[in-house]
């Protein structure tokens, strides 16, 4: 009888993970070298006719699902004999309560260039980025359109972003091995959650993704599922940051649009660690504040949907096109900064 109860519990937990994104179209894990999943998105949530403030152009110069608690990540041996050591800012006077005022598109430090150069020395690809997150980081929703051709997106006044779309071609639609429904900060560090078709038995999803794709940038959009184990969020995110830096990957931390924990603790910690490690913070939370219901559906978790037509004011009232636009702007900021003298 006890064995039967255990089997039922495992089954229900598995179903919970698979159903973690109610409106998300999930597709099977595809080849890590590229993928072309069918675009099949649900209709957008109805919003009001209030036109939000559109984010300025960069100058040209999720349903919650319980997941594993704290687990120590598997550390891969770096191809370089001298990987960079994570260096917290020695002069940081950051006020954690000021996180909401931090810019949507980050100001970049010289530390970012140091991590980038270290990654190049290790053999990472300068024109590759990875996504690290839950179902909201899968290509059907997040950035995939920009590998599918011009008929899937309209840049409008943001035509300069075509340069970054061309430069990072192949990373937008790729299904990351470190992004899956139900993932939280512990999941991406746990070999149990790795895709065994591509990953080694003792390899975490994060280590597997970095080994196979060899990115120089990682867009880290975790936190929604961490409200179940909120005490583990800070130490686990710290491990993700330090492992990324050791591998020569610039970790870009994103704030989340919701506040299910009621005190913005997750966004506050995210911003604080970004300042401590001198790495980019993409303050997506601030970007959606002008939108109807702050870009969230009625459940207060899922982001409102519209196609990636940045020239359509109605589309720009929804959370998803704002998320994709600001992600492109973050990549553009990094692209110009890393390629400047």
The whole model's pTM is what? 0.77
Say which CATH topology domain 62-338 has.
Answer: Rossmann fold (3.40.50)
pLDDT tens per residue, range 17-36: 433 354 433 333 333 333 33
Comparing CA positions, the residue from 332, 34, 327 lying closest to residue 171 is: 34
Query: What is the rounded average pLDDT for all residues in the chain?
Result: 80
Across 81-85, average pLDDT: 44
pLDDT at 137: 95
Write out pLDDT tens, residues 58-82. 333 333 333 333 333 433 433 333 4
Rounded average pLDDT over 238-251:
98
Domain locations along the chain: 62-338
């Amino acid at each position: 009888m006890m064995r039967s109860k255990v089997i039922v519990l495992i089954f229900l937990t598995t179903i919970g993970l698979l159903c973690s994104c109610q409106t998300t179209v999930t597709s099977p894990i595809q080849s890590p070298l590229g993928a072309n999943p069918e675009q099949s998105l649900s209709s957008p949530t109805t919003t009001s006719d209030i036109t939000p403030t559109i984010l300025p152009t960069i100058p040209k110069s999720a349903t919650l699902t319980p997941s594993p608690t704290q687990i120590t990540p598997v550390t891969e041996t770096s191809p370089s004999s001298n990987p960079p050591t994570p260096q917290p800012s020695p002069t940081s006077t950051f006020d954690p309560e000021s996180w909401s005022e931090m810019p949507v598109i980050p100001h970049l430090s010289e530390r970012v260039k140091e991590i980038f150069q270290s990654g190049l020395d290790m053999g990472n690809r300068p024109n590759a980025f990875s996504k690290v997150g839950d179902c909201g980081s899968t290509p059907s929703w997040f950035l995939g359109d920009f590998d599918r051709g011009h008929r899937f997106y309209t840049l409008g006044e943001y035509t300069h972003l075509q340069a970054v779309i061309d430069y990072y071609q192949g990373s937008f639609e790729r299904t990351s091995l470190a992004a899956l429904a139900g993932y939280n900060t512990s999941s991406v560090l746990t070999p149990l959650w790795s895709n065994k078709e591509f990953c080694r038995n003792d390899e975490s999803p994060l280590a597997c993704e970095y080994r196979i794709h060899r990115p120089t940038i990682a867009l880290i959009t975790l936190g929604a599922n961490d409200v179940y184990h909120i005490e583990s969020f800070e130490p686990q995110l710290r491990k993700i940051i330090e492992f990324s830096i050791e591998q020569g990957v610039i970790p870009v931390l994103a704030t989340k649009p919701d506040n299910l924990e009621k005190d913005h603790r997750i966004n506050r910690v995210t911003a604080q660690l970004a300042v401590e490690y001198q790495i980019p913070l993409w303050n997506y939370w601030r970007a959606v504040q002008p939108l109807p219901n702050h870009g969230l559906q009625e459940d207060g978790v899922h982001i409102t949907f519209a196609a990636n037509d940045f020239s359509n004011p109605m589309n720009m009232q929804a959370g998803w096109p704002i998320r994709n636009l600001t992600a492109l702007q973050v990549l553009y900021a990094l692209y110009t900064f890393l390629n400047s003298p």
